């Protein structure tokens, strides 16, 4: 099938599709539109390279590291991500563990925390007494706010050590200012007797041999990609949709916009708020020097959280654990993540009302479809990005034929919720 210019799906059309953005959401959408629907697609990318945040970077010494996604797995989206990427990349399994150091002078333990590991800490006995008291009371967690929820599920000591400082440092909010639903969604109330150490997911973790950059060479093969093309406006007129970029106006029958939805619509309701981080890169001559600690089974942690307020660093990444797997040798990179609200990485829950005003405005422009992390203001992993894109492909005919109110509801369906 191919897209038909009048908004129906049929064969033999010369419909023009513009995809704004050549990150994973844009490249994946363009590829699926062509392969499944036969669409003719032009891609506009403001940068000089594809990939967005899904990109393998290199130090001046030539050592690789990633700024955004570092591994592939099934976190919240679709198991289809693994065979999908397997068409383009050789995926190598990795044992990805994450740990936390609750205080600078304490040992590293697995995260999510478990009772056995907590028992090794100076405060372990106090945490165990609090957990025992909660179990004896037999009451469900309180849901007034996130602080009440965590303290009633985990006790005040663990709540203060593992969550209070990190929340202020990264999200800029006290636990009492956040909803209990945030903890329920992320299952923060669960604590195992013994940790399983692995970063939680529904499948093993994989790293692509040679990094992520080759993915885009294949996904974008055969497409017209215009790099250095910053989009300044998208509007509807009698000839279809026009996209203003670089002083020129391009006409399209359909526009998939993975650009920030607030910028795309001229910030008419104000800028959406984001949380993100800048990074400090450290090169270690010996991979052993880069270790952040080891799990009880001897595997080095790939990630280490540092939740106390005295350090600006929220998390560190040991790329030897990700890139090299079980055999570590030679130089390696450690990345330190420091909060920076100027980076559009993580949407915040308290901006939903403003976002839905933008989504309603976008829904009034027939043929415009916002998509992806920036377009639909949702934190996504690679699997949930693919799931979002496939939901769009499945409802695209209906979306193009619908009136604005229905388009709004369809866009909400494509976006999904925080669990997918």
Over residues 311-318, the mean pLDDT reads: 96
Given this model, what pLDDT does residue 1 score?
37
- Scored b (16 or more CB within 10 A) or e, 317-353 reads bbbbbbbbeeebeebbbbbbbebeeeebbebbeebee
pLDDT for the residue 195 = 86
Residues 6+ apart with CB under 8 A from 8: 397, 400, 401
The predicted model gives 77-85 an average pLDDT of: 93
Three-state SS for 7? coil
Residue 6 confidence class, pLDDT cut points 50, 70, 90 = very low
Q: What is the reported pLDDT for 12? A: 41
Q: Which two tokens stand for residue 328?
A: 């570590």
The whole-number pLDDT of residue 13 equals: 53
What average pLDDT does the structure give for the chain?
A: 92
Give the DSSP H or E segment for 275: strand 274-275
d(CA 88, CA 86): 5
Residues 72-87 have a mean pLDDT of 92
What's the pLDDT score for residue 5? 39
Q: Is the pLDDT of residue 3 over 50?
A: no
Residue 313: CA count within 13 A, CB half-sphere: 19
2-53+212-271+347-415 sits in which CATH class?
alpha beta
Give the model's pLDDT for residue 18. 96
Domain boundaries, the chain: 2-53+212-271+347-415, 56-97+200-211+277-339, 113-185
Which pLDDT score is estimated for 77?
78
Q: Is the pLDDT of residue 8 over 70?
A: no
Q: Is the dihedral of CA 267, 269, 270, 274 positive or negative?
A: negative
| Percent of the chain predicted with pLDDT > 90 | 80
Count other C-beta atoms under 10 Å from residue 106's C-beta: 15
Strand, helix or coil at 208? Answer: strand
Q: State pTM to two decimals.
A: 0.92
Q: What is the pLDDT of residue 2?
A: 39
């Amino acid at each position: 099938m191919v897209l038909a210019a009048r908004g129906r799906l049929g064969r033999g059309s010369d419909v023009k599709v513009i995809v704004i953005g050549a990150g994973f959401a844009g490249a994946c959408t363009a590829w699926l539109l062509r392969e499944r629907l036969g669409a003719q697609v032009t891609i506009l990318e403001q940068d000089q390279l594809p990939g967005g945040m899904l990109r393998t970077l290199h130090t001046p010494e030539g050592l690789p590291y990633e700024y955004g996604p570092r591994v592939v797995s099934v976190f919240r989206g679709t198991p289809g991500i693994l065979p999908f990427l397997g068409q383009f990349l050789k995926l190598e399994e990795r044992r990805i563990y994450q740990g936390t150091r609750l205080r600078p002078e304490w040992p590293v333990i697995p995260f999510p925390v478990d009772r056995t590991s907590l028992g090794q800490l100076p405060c372990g006995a106090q945490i165990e007494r609090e957990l025992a008291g909660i179990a004896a009371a037999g009451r469900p967690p309180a849901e007034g706010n996130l602080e009440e929820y965590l303290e009633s599920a985990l006790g005040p000591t663990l709540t203060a050590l593992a969550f209070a400082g990190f929340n202020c440092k990264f999200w800029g909010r006290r636990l009492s200012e956040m909803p209990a639903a945030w903890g329920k969604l992320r299952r923060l109330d669960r604590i195992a007797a013994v940790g399983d150490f692995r970063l939680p997911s529904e499948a093993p973790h994989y790293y692509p041999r040679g990094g992520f950059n080759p993915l885009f060479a294949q996904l974008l093969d055969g497409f017209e990609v215009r790099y250095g093309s910053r989009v300044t406006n998208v509007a509807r007129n009698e000839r279809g949709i026009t996209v203003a970029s670089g002083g020129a106006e391009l006409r399209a029958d359909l526009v998939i916009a993975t650009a920030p939805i607030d910028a795309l619509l001229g910030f008419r309701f104000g800028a959406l708020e984001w949380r993100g981080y800048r990074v400090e890169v450290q090169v270690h001559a010996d991979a052993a020097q880069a270790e952040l600690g080891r799990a009880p089974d001897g595997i080095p942690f790939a990630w280490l959280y540092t939740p106390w307020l005295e350090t600006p660093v929220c998390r560190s990444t040991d790329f030897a654990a990700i890139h090299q797997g079980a055999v570590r040798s030679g130089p390696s990179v450690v990345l330190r993540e420091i909060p920076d609200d100027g980076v559009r990485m993580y949407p915040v829950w308290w901006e939903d009302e403003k976002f839905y005003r933008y989504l309603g405005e976008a829904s009034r422009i027939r043929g415009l479809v916002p998509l992806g992390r920036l377009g639909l203001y949702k934190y996504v992993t690679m699997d949930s990005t693919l799931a979002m894109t496939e939901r769009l492909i499945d409802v695209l005919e209906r979306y193009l034929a619908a009136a604005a109110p229905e388009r709004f509801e369809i866009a909400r369906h494509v976006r999904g919720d925080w669990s997918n």
